[in-house]
Amino acid sequence: MLAFGIQHVAAMYAGVVAPPLIIGQALDLDAVQLTLLIGASLFTAGIATVLQSVGVWRIGARLPFVNGVTFGSVAPILAIVAQSNEENPLSAVYGAVLVAGVLAFFAAPYFSRMIRFFPPVVNGTVITLIGLSLMPVGIQWITGQDESAADYASPQRIALGATTLVLVLLCNRFLKGFWNRIALLIGLVVGTLIAWPLGAIDTSTFEQAPLFNLPTPFDLGSPSFSFTATLSLCVVMLVAMMESTADMLALGEIVDRPADESTIAAGLRADGAGSALSAVFGGFTCSAFAQNIGLVALTRVRSRYVVATGGVVLIALGLFPVIGAVVSLVPEPVLGGAALVLFSSVTTSGMRTLGKTDIGDPFTSLIVAGSLSVGMIPVVSPDFYEHFPAAMRTVLDSGISTGCLAAIALNLLFGSTRRDKGDVPSQRDPDDDAAHNTQDDAPSRPAEHT
C-alpha cells in the first residue's frame, strides 16, 4: 500500500511543486518563505486527495482520484500579484481562492448535471484528449523548459528520458505481481541512480530544506478581497471543475465504475472544499491530476485506499520538507520518461472507450475529429489565442476545456437523436461505493451509510 501510494506521489510531485515555485519566484520570496509555500501546497494537496478518495458525507468522489494545485491558476495568480498594491500580494490571492472554492462547493450539484451530455463518444474523445494534451508536459520535462539553457534538449537529458521510458516498459513486460505494479517507481529510482554520477541531480533543495514545518492558518497572508481577483479565479475554478468532470469520467471508465451525477457532484464538492481549505493554509486552487489516472490504467491497481495513502504521504511531505526534498532529487528527464508512459496510457483508455461507439459512422467520426482538432490547438500552438481577451484565454488556453466543449456541442449537433440506450451512466448513490469495490480494493464489506 505504501509503495503504491509513494508511486502516485512520485508521478505528481513535480506538478504540485511547480505552481508555488513559479509564484514564489515572481514574488521574490527568500528560500525559507519559498519552502513554506511549497510545503503548504503539498500539505493541502494531501488533505484534498484524502478527502476526494475516502470521502466524508457527500464530499469526495470515492474513486482513486488525486488532487493538487491546478496549473491553470498560475497565470491569473501572477496577474493578480503584478496588479496588487497591497504589502502582501498573496492576501488578495488567498481571498480569491477562498471565494472560488466556496463557489465550487455550492455549484457542484448543478454543474454535475452536465453528465447527460457525456455519452461514450464524448467520454472517449475527452479522455483521449486528456492524454494527448499531457504529452508535451512529459517532453518538456525531458528537454528542459528553458530553451536558452546550456543543457536544453542535450543528448544526456534525452538519453536519461529514453532510458527511464524503456525501463518502465521492460519492468511492465517482464516483472510479475507486486514488482510489476511498481514498475514506474522502479524506473524512477533506477533512472535517478543512473543520473547521479552524471551530475544531473540538483541537491540544493535538499540542503536548504528544514526538518519540520507545521502549516498554520493564514501564516503566509490573511485573505483580502478584490472583485477583479475573485472573478478571475472563479473563472479558473469553473474551468478546473470542467476538467475534473472529464477526469472523473475517464477514471470511472478505467476502474469499471462509471461516474454518475452524484459521484461527480461529490467529487466537485471535494475540489471546492479542498481549494477553500488550501487558501487557509497557504495553498492554491485544487483540482484533479490527470497523470495519476494514467498510473491507475498502467498498474491496474484500482484501490482508492492506495491513493488515500498517497495523500497521507503528501501531508507528511508538507510537514517534513526534508522528506519532500528527497523526492525532488528525481531529475526532470527521468520523470519525463516515466510520464510519457503514463500519459499514453490515458490516451489508450480513451481509444478503448471510443471502441464502444460506432466510430465508422460518418457523424460519429466528425464529432471525434472536430473535437480533437479544437482541443489540440493550444497544445501544439500555445500562442494561438495570444490576441484574445485574457478572460477568454483562461478557457481557450486549456485544450481539455475547449475540446470538451467542442465534443458536447458537436454531439448535440450530430448525435443527440441517435444516442444508444445506456450511453448515459445510470444514477447510483455514492454511498453504495463499498458494495461496488473495484479490483485490488479491500475485501467485500457491508455498504457504508451516512
Mean pLDDT of 323-339: 82
Q: Please, which pLDDT band fits residue 83 given cuts at 50, 70 and 90? A: confident
Nearest-angstrom CA–CA distance, 144 and 150: 10
Mean pLDDT of 95-99: 94
pLDDT single digits (tens) 171-203:
989 998 888 888 888 999 999 999 999 988 877
- How confident is the prediction for the chain on average, in pLDDT? 84
pLDDT single digits (tens) 237-268:
888 898 889 889 889 989 988 889 999 999 99
> Of 234, 328, 269, 219, whose CA–CA distance to 56 is shortest?
269
State the pLDDT at residue 163.
96
Query: Are the beta carbons of 357 and 124 closer than 8 angstroms?
Result: yes
State the pLDDT at residue 347.
87
